[in-house]
Amino acid sequence: MSNIIVTDLQSPSIEYALVELFELTLSDSVTLFFHAGVESDLGNVKFHPIDEPEKNTEADANEYIALPIEMSGIASASDGASNRPTLSVANVTQLFRSSLNDNNFSFEDVIGRKITRRTTFSNYLVGGVDEDTPTEFPLSKYVLDRISSENQVMVTFELAAPFDLSGIKLPNRTVIGKYCSWIYQGRRSTPSRGGCSWSLNSSISYDGVTYDAFFDRDDHPLVSQTTFNSVATAWVAGTYTRDTYVTYSSRNWRCITDNNESPLGSDFWQQVFTWTVWDSVTSYTVPTHGRYVKHNNHIWKSIRGSLNAEPEPSSVYWSRVDYCGKTLESCKCRYQFVPINGLPSVTKETNKVLPFGAFPGSAKFK
């Protein structure tokens, strides 16, 4: 940290506004620049590229657009789990679509991208009284890991350190820098952006038959209501073997180990969520445990009652749930999928090697 900015910070009164600048890196050639506002000024501001203070000029500096944006929960510790702050951004997809010239942009597109937070005082910006000697506080760099909440006003992302390796057990996976494995199903997208090669429609072939293999972040099976109904029975007191599917207390369950306990509160059962195919004429309500539908090769949960609102990433009525938990267990559920009566078995086909693409992940940095 520069001695100049330390002197500014320790002054009895701070004369100039603290400025937060954000750089969202979407690719090697595309970076979006935002600032959270400078006092009452919501105009664009300019500041030199990182590590290039000589370019703190009107012609060479980066230009930052004003946007309601806030990064919170930043902390540093010498031990324990890595800090996972949050980034809240105004839900204004039109601004991103205009900046990227992409009318199909959604906030799901920035998952796995890098966000850099820069902080300085307004006097060091281009046009400031000290623009010739620009300085700033240390950078904060994170990866946008997932969308933790979204409404009509704000979208909040949970962030992760680029090398958040907490909880790794040996033997682990090979870390490769060419692909970003934070992007779920990114290897098969167009263009290819990630290391995860899981199929875009979450299907897998087993003994020549194709099955749906949908799971949520907590590795709960997401299965067809029709297939589940053909296999499941109502739970009654007795002994159950693994891979038995039952209904109990208005919920669906899978037995994960032999037991004679009721599913509620038992570690021997895992909750299962069933889906039907979405259609535009059904009135979708929001029951106690949600309503799940399949649409465009994804599974969506109804979060607000609707008649014909189509499930999509920006919808206020639906939330996509078939995301990876980014653990080795999440990969095993998918790549080592074994069917039993058309539903996923607790047993895994462990002779199948897990491909690169799971947690722990790496991103490409310069």
Asked whether residue 145 carries a pLDDT value surpassing 90, the answer given is no
Residue type, 252: N
Query: Is omega for the bond preceding 191 within 30 degrees of 0, making it cis?
Result: yes
- Bridge partners of residue 203, in order along the sequence: 212
Asked whether residue 78 carries a pLDDT value surpassing 60, the answer given is no
pTM: 0.54
Phi, psi of 5 (to 5 degrees): -75, -30
pLDDT confidence bin for 359, thresholds 50/70/90: very low
Asked whether residue 365 carries a pLDDT value surpassing 60, the answer given is no
Mean pLDDT of 205-210: 93
Mean pLDDT of 178-192: 74
Report pLDDT for 33: 93
Report pLDDT for 236: 95
Report pLDDT for 105: 77
Report pLDDT for 280: 87
Burial of residue 121 (number of CB atoms within 10 Å: 0-12, 13-18, 19+): buried
Residue recorded with tokens 């109904």: 229
pLDDT confidence bin for 290, thresholds 50/70/90: confident
Residue type, 72: S
Residue 343 token pair: 């539903």
First-to-last C-alpha distance (Å) of the chain = 21
Tell me the per-residue pLDDT of 85-107, one tens digit each, with 9 for 90 and over: 899 998 887 777 777 777 777 78
pLDDT confidence bin for 361, thresholds 50/70/90: very low
Mean confidence (pLDDT) of the chain: 84
Asked whether residue 340 carries a pLDDT value surpassing 90, the answer given is yes
Report pLDDT for 195: 76
d(CA 219, CA 185): 16
Q: What is the 3-state secondary structure (H, E, C) of the chain?
A: CCHHHHHHHCCCCCCCCEEEEEEEECCCCCEEEEECCECCECCCEEECCCCCHHHCCCCCCEEEEECCEEEECCCCCCCCCCCCCEEEEECCHHHHHHHHCCCCCCHHHHCCCEEEEEEEEHHHCCCCCCCCCCCCCCCEEEEEEEEEEECCCEEEEEEECCCCCCCCCCCCCCCCCCCECCCCCCCCCCCCCECCCCCCCCEEEECCEEEECEECCCCCEEEEHHHHHHHCEECCCCCECCCCEEEECCEEEEECCCECCCCCCCCCEEEEEEEEECCCCCCECCCCCCCEEEECCEEEEECCCECCCCCCCCCCCEEECCCCCCCHHHHHHHHCCCEECCEECCCCCCCCCCCCCCCCCCCCCC
| Residue 2 and residue 33 in contact, taking contact as beta carbons nearer than 8 Å | no
